[in-house]
């Protein structure tokens, strides 16, 4: 099945706001054909979110709830339970490299999937596509916190001040040294970390990387570091 056909499939399953048994079977068949290709899976999940966004823009209150229920079912179908990692186990880790991989697409997808919390600790944010995804998550009442570098926050094109004006809690270091971490914790269950700066140059030109993991030991360590920095920069 070609990508545009997958998009059409997503849109058609949303017409009645339900994912039927037949449609779930079609999705299983689709996943079988791209088994092991996480990039394709990420693309298909992104298509599901795109289909939902199109409907949400013109839906009434009742249809919005139905759309979100459909989206939850679609994401579960595209990421079945047997592929979910056991806590603390290997095998759930995925690496992404720019500019070859769609790194910005994966980051925005993570914000689109976030349900309750996202803690962001990054050197700088200048890629508006990521900022837009953060704003959408904030409007869905996802609790977002941001830690960044004080000097980079003042750079031309930095979106840190914009995020603060939206009401997203932001803290920066106040020292002569840099806050150079680049990681984010989604729903306390997924860690994204690596060299990748959240900038357009990183997406388009730089040789960068990040990995996504559900390893419980790493989640614990990075959560402790985030909480420590959050206290230190208060």
What CA–CA distance (Å, rounded) separates 117 from 94?
A: 21
Q: Where are the alpha helices (DSSP H) in 36-127?
A: 38-56, 61-78, 103-113
Length of the chain: 234
What CA–CA distance (Å, rounded) separates 165 from 60?
A: 28
What CA–CA distance (Å, rounded) separates 199 from 155?
A: 12
User: Which positions are catalytic?
Assistant: 180, 182, 187
163 preceded by a cis bond (ω within 30 of 0): no
What's the first-to-final CA gap in the chain, in angstroms?
A: 51
């Amino acid at each position: 099945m070609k990508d545009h056909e997958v998009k059409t499939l997503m849109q058609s399953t949303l017409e009645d706001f339900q994912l039927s048994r037949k449609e779930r079977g079609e999705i299983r068949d689709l996943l079988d054909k791209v088994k092991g290709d996480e990039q394709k899976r990420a693309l298909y999940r992104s298509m599901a979110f795109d289909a939902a966004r199109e409907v949400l823009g013109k839906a009434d209150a009742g249809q919005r709830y139905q759309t979100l229920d459909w989206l939850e079912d679609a994401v579960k179908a595209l990421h079945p339970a047997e592929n979910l990692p056991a806590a603390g186990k290997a095998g759930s880790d995925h690496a992404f490299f720019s500019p070859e991989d769609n790194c910005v697409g994966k980051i925005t997808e993570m914000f689109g999937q976030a349900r309750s919390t996202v803690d962001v600790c990054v050197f700088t944010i200048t890629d508006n596509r990521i900022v837009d995804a953060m704003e959408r998550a904030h409007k869905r009442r996802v609790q977002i916190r941001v830690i960044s570098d004080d000097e980079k926050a003042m750079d031309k094109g930095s979106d840190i001040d914009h995020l603060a004006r939206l009401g997203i809690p932001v803290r920066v270091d106040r020292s002569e040294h840099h806050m150079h971490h680049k990681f984010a914790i989604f729903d306390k269950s997924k860690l994204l970390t690596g060299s990748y700066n959240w900038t357009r140059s990183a997406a388009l030109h730089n040789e960068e990387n990040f990995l996504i993991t559900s390893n419980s030991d790493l989640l614990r360590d990075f959560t402790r570091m985030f909480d420590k920095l959050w206290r230190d920069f208060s």
